[in-house]
A and B are shown apart, each in its own frame.
Chain A
């Protein structure tokens, strides 16, 4: 393998129903700075059916070029059709780095592609950098347990690949004046050769906000005591327009459904504000929320490990503090009219 043949930073542009996923735009932002350091072009690649027009958006968010594969068989994401396209592109154009969003489809695709390209893949990265001299991608992620990060390297294989958690990197402000090149590729795909069919896609609107995308999360733990006290968590969330989360204990006690579990065996979340109420801060919970921007912890036990990761902590009784907080927000609303919300 001649490493000099491999050049450029690539970002998988995930689109659903013609809409680009936020994480792909974030990765264009992160990829831009990697490409600048390496002094190579940044490329987006996008697959789908009738998605050519999205290329300009990819350029506006920082790409120098966009590879497009537009084909009816690519209408919905499927591992077998999408991986064919990505492998075709990677083998023809030989990027040195490929980044994917760590979404269900992004992770699925990257895992399959890595196997066929016989290369390394780092999962759920939260920090990205490059060693310019060695042209090495430094993909860091929380190591198993502990407040410790591991930097994963792929020294002897190309392309170097990583999936990156949504809401960790920052998208650039779009610039519609940016220039870029659109390269359209054709590949041969036949529906009758596909072994899987997407029969129906259902957007689930029953959940008010997807936890992974929430800007504010109020998360309760076993320290709330019982199901009745846990209603305070719901009430605070409703007052400030937040989503509700819970720890593994809370979910196992049946106070919340599993999809609202935050932590290693639940959702990984990175909201702007995270309330950890009655949560001791067990490691498997902390790995799922510690990248939140602002963490407010409320707990009786001054030694609870949650205070180590909290930006602000209140040692006290949640049964007193939470109702007071709700009261404050409610009176603010009455005073000023309207409602408290995220904009």
Chain B
């Protein structure tokens, strides 16, 4: 059983500050972290490996300092990690990103066939969730998104039983392997890393690939050139109707608020029980 987990380095949106003048993010204010959903993806791979045996590779694309998220993944329990780093990949949207990652997966697969790919639900900086299914399509394996439980993995029969989140409820899916999962946060709790993992991570040197390490790459499909979407303009959205502060004593504030709420008659109706 060989699982590849795709991970991304993102700025920590919990800590990041906004420049009040430009209304944009002050990226320097935020430490770069392993995308939280991807941490759960690595953790899930560790859980699966504990039952089936095998190994876990992690794959990332980003600037050279993104090796940090590979080390973090090793700490959680991955066996090895690859970083795709090259200016040719820069400026990629989701289509170009899934292309580059699928090319790297092709190369990984040459050494060791891949049974499962796991991605986080989405990255907290781009927030699209489009790269996972994109990779699956390019590899021609089924994508199963919004997975909240890996119920059973059967490496002999090459099948997996999954629980997938829906708009109102969930469903059980049986899929053939290889397949690609994208996982929600509630799929697991991140364990404390055992000491040997920490030591391994500290010493670990990720495998670094540039575009020249990939085979049969169409360069026009990479980076900015390979990205059909572009940002047209940025603008400040219209503010909601007021931002009005209610003044007075607590009870005055509360009665003003009641008036506002009850004015929305379609919302608060007093109906006889």
- The one of A114, A248, A343 that contacts B130, using a Cβ cutoff of 8 Å: A114
- Residues on A with C-beta less than 8 A from B253 are 314, 316, 321
Within 35-66 of B, Cβ neighbours of A (below 8 Å) are at: 36-37
Q: Nearest Cβ distance between residue B220 and chain A, in whole angstroms?
A: 11
Nearest B residue to A156 by beta-carbon distance?
B228
In the complex, the answer to whether B267 meets A112 with C-beta atoms within 8 Å is no
- In angstroms, Cα B232 to Cα A153, docked, is 6
Query: Given A152-B230, A328-B258, does the pair A201, B266 have CB atoms closer than 8 Å?
Result: no
Q: Does A198 lie at the interface of the complex (its beta carbon under 8 Å from any beta carbon of B)? A: yes
Query: Given A145-B16, A195-B179, A216-B267, does the pair A138, B232 have CB atoms closer than 8 Å?
Result: yes
Query: Given A111-B130, A195-B142, A248-B14, does the pair A151, B266 have CB atoms closer than 8 Å?
Result: no
In the complex, the answer to whether B13 meets A284 with C-beta atoms within 8 Å is yes
Within 187-207 of A, Cβ neighbours of B (below 8 Å) are at: 195-204
**7 extra A-B contacts, CB within 8 A, seeds A154-B228, A314-B253:** A104-B145, A123-B130, A144-B125, A145-B13, A199-B172, A295-B240, A296-B260
Within 138-182 of B, Cβ neighbours of A (below 8 Å) are at: 138, 141-146, 161, 164-176, 179
In the complex, the answer to whether A325 meets B234 with C-beta atoms within 8 Å is no
In the complex, the answer to whether B168 meets A258 with C-beta atoms within 8 Å is no
Q: Nearest Cβ distance between residue B273 and chain A, in whole angstroms?
A: 5
Q: Does B210 lie at the interface of the complex (its beta carbon under 8 Å from any beta carbon of A)? A: no
- In angstroms, Cα B236 to Cα A151, docked, is 11
In the complex, the answer to whether A115 meets B137 with C-beta atoms within 8 Å is yes
Query: Given A105-B166, A296-B257, A312-B242, does the pair A342, B171 have CB atoms closer than 8 Å?
Result: no
Q: Does A57 lie at the interface of the complex (its beta carbon under 8 Å from any beta carbon of B)? A: no
- In angstroms, Cα B138 to Cα A116, docked, is 8
Task: Say what secondary structure dominates the interface of chain B.
Answer: mixed
- Residues on B with C-beta less than 8 A from A76 are 171
In the complex, the answer to whether B270 meets A332 with C-beta atoms within 8 Å is yes
In the complex, the answer to whether A104 meets B172 with C-beta atoms within 8 Å is no
- The one of B37, B93, B170 that contacts A120, using a Cβ cutoff of 8 Å: B93
In the complex, the answer to whether A312 meets B257 with C-beta atoms within 8 Å is yes
Q: Does B196 lie at the interface of the complex (its beta carbon under 8 Å from any beta carbon of A)? A: no
- Residues on A with C-beta less than 8 A from B37 are 265
Which of B17-25, B78-86, B108-116 sits within the interface? B17-25
Nearest B residue to A107 by beta-carbon distance?
B129
State the B residues within 8 Å of A (CB).
13-14, 16, 18, 23-25, 36-37, 93-95, 98, 124-130, 132-134, 136-138, 141-146, 161, 164-176, 179, 185-186, 227-237, 239-246, 250-251, 253-255, 257-258, 260-261, 264, 266-273
In the complex, the answer to whether A283 meets B13 with C-beta atoms within 8 Å is yes
In the complex, the answer to whether A119 meets B270 with C-beta atoms within 8 Å is no
In the complex, the answer to whether B173 meets A198 with C-beta atoms within 8 Å is yes
Q: Nearest Cβ distance between residue B9 and chain A, in whole angstroms?
A: 14
- In angstroms, Cα B137 to Cα A121, docked, is 15
Q: Does A269 lie at the interface of the complex (its beta carbon under 8 Å from any beta carbon of B)? A: no
**Interface-central residue, A105, A309, A312, A317, by most chain B CB under 10 Å:** A312
Q: Nearest Cβ distance between residue B40 and chain A, in whole angstroms?
A: 11
- Residues on B with C-beta less than 8 A from A273 are 261, 264, 267
Chain A 124-160: CB-based contact to B (< 8 A → 1; otherwise 0): 1001000000000010101111111111111111000
In the complex, the answer to whether A120 meets B137 with C-beta atoms within 8 Å is no
- In angstroms, Cα B14 to Cα A145, docked, is 10
- In angstroms, Cα B128 to Cα A259, docked, is 19
In the complex, the answer to whether A104 meets B165 with C-beta atoms within 8 Å is yes
Q: Does A33 lie at the interface of the complex (its beta carbon under 8 Å from any beta carbon of B)? A: no
- Residues on A with C-beta less than 8 A from B166 are 16, 104-105, 201
In the complex, the answer to whether B175 meets A201 with C-beta atoms within 8 Å is no
In the complex, the answer to whether A341 meets B229 with C-beta atoms within 8 Å is no
- In angstroms, Cα B175 to Cα A183, docked, is 32
- Residues on A with C-beta less than 8 A from B237 are 127, 142, 147-149
Q: Nearest Cβ distance between residue A324 and chain B, in whole angstroms?
A: 4
In the complex, the answer to whether A115 meets B234 with C-beta atoms within 8 Å is no
**Interface-central residue, A116, A144, A150, A310, by most chain B CB under 10 Å:** A144
Query: Given A336-B270, A340-B270, does the pair A149, B236 have CB atoms closer than 8 Å?
Result: yes
In the complex, the answer to whether B13 meets A264 with C-beta atoms within 8 Å is yes
Query: Given A111-B129, A240-B268, A284-B13, does the pair A151, B233 have CB atoms closer than 8 Å?
Result: yes
Within 9-32 of A, Cβ neighbours of B (below 8 Å) are at: 16, 21
Query: Given A104-B166, A314-B246, does the pair A195, B232 have CB atoms closer than 8 Å?
Result: no
Q: Does A122 lie at the interface of the complex (its beta carbon under 8 Å from any beta carbon of B)? A: yes
Q: Nearest Cβ distance between residue A298 and chain B, in whole angstroms?
A: 9
- Residues on A with C-beta less than 8 A from B255 are 328
In the complex, the answer to whether A313 meets B246 with C-beta atoms within 8 Å is yes
- The one of B145, B164, B250 that contacts A107, using a Cβ cutoff of 8 Å: B145
Closest 4 CB pairs of A and B: A120-B228, A123-B128, A111-B133, A338-B272
- Residues on A with C-beta less than 8 A from B234 are 143, 148-151
Query: Given A148-B234, A332-B270, does the pair A112, B133 have CB atoms closer than 8 Å?
Result: yes
Nearest A residue to B18 by beta-carbon distance?
A146
- In angstroms, Cα B269 to Cα A240, docked, is 10
- The one of A114, A213, A312, A336 that contacts B260, using a Cβ cutoff of 8 Å: A312
Nearest B residue to A271 by beta-carbon distance?
B267
In the complex, the answer to whether A341 meets B269 with C-beta atoms within 8 Å is yes
Within 253-304 of A, Cβ neighbours of B (below 8 Å) are at: 257-259, 264-265, 272-273, 282-284, 290, 293-296, 302
- Residues on B with C-beta less than 8 A from A146 are 18, 23-25
- Residues on B with C-beta less than 8 A from A324 are 250-251, 254
Nearest A residue to B129 by beta-carbon distance?
A107
In the complex, the answer to whether B270 meets A152 with C-beta atoms within 8 Å is no
- Residues on A with C-beta less than 8 A from B36 are 265
Q: List 8 A-B contacts (CB under 8 A).
A: A111-B130, A115-B95, A143-B231, A145-B16, A150-B233, A151-B235, A296-B260, A340-B269
